[in-house]
Amino acid sequence: MSALINSFCAEIIKSKNTIALWLTVIGAAIIPLTMIITYVYNYELFIPESGRNPWSEIFLRSFNGITLFTPLFLILIINLLFNIENKSNAWKHIFVLPISKSTYYFSKYAFVFCLVFAYYFLFVILTWGSGALLGYQNAQLNFLAYTPEWKTILSFLTRFFVGTLAIIAIHFWLSFRIKNLIANLGIGLVGVAFSVLFNGTSGYVIYFPYSFPIMMLNYAPKPAQFFENYHIISLFYFTIFSVLSYWDFTTRFKG
């Protein structure tokens, strides 16, 4: 356990030499900042009806924003973290250190998830802050008279996070197998582009991992079930690709 913790701390130190940490903050702030600009210049369109919670509207719009943006963020952040070793050809140095490949693998995976959770946390806090600022600036928007529906927000984020697991696992594997950053980003961009192009036009889209986050655009949960079929498929893909990438990294990958 101490080796895993030390390796995880090493990942934090290495990330300081990249834009990964700043990208996490900037990525989380893009949609809330967009909401501020949109509401300020078109506030008449967002004055809520009497008795309606305005937080539902701003979070719905923000959630729609991250369904399109987050897949690109995940692909970029994972590739940047592995690019630390790839661009400096540091794998051989890492593999001679007194640390097992499995320890390094799990510490890297853990750090990726820490950045993802930080991204979601900052996104929610900044969206809430945006609404509070808008409510202070314009009382007609009525944000200060209500509170966000935190249970609904947490429910959406849980579903959305599960929907992104397949992309995380796929690009975690690709990022150490394909050392070219541009090639990895290209694969991700093509996947996202196809998911946008064919979203809702084919029943087979629920098997395409890049489409899972985008399928939550204007998402309305079904009371009878917490996870949709594509959430279950995403969990399945995540498990399969994580196991395969672990096996590949610990037994075949030589750097």
pLDDT (0 to 100) of residue 223? 65
| 135: nearest Cα among 64, 62, 63, 55 | 55
pLDDT (0 to 100) of residue 8? 75
DSSP label of 47: P
Q: Is the pLDDT of residue 200 over 60?
A: no
Separation between Cα atoms, residue 169 and residue 41, nearest integer Å = 40
Separation between Cα atoms, residue 50 and residue 146, nearest integer Å = 12
Q: How many domains does the chain have?
A: 1
Separation between Cα atoms, residue 229 and residue 73, nearest integer Å = 24
Q: How confident is the model over 100-109, as pLDDT tens digits?
A: 889 889 999 9
Q: What is the pTM of this model?
A: 0.92
* Dihedral pair phi/psi, residue 109, rounded to 5°: -65, -45
State the pLDDT confidence band at 224, using cuts at 50, 70 and 90: low
* Dihedral pair phi/psi, residue 217, rounded to 5°: -65, 130
pLDDT (0 to 100) of residue 58? 92
Average pLDDT over the chain, rounded to an integer: 87
Domain that holds residue 214: 2-251
pLDDT (0 to 100) of residue 16? 76
State the pLDDT confidence band at 87, using cuts at 50, 70 and 90: confident
Q: What's the Rg (C-alpha) of the chain?
A: 20
Separation between Cα atoms, residue 204 and residue 131, nearest integer Å = 38
Q: How confident is the model over 132-175, as pLDDT tens digits?
A: 999 998 888 888 988 999 998 999 999 999 999 999 999 999 99
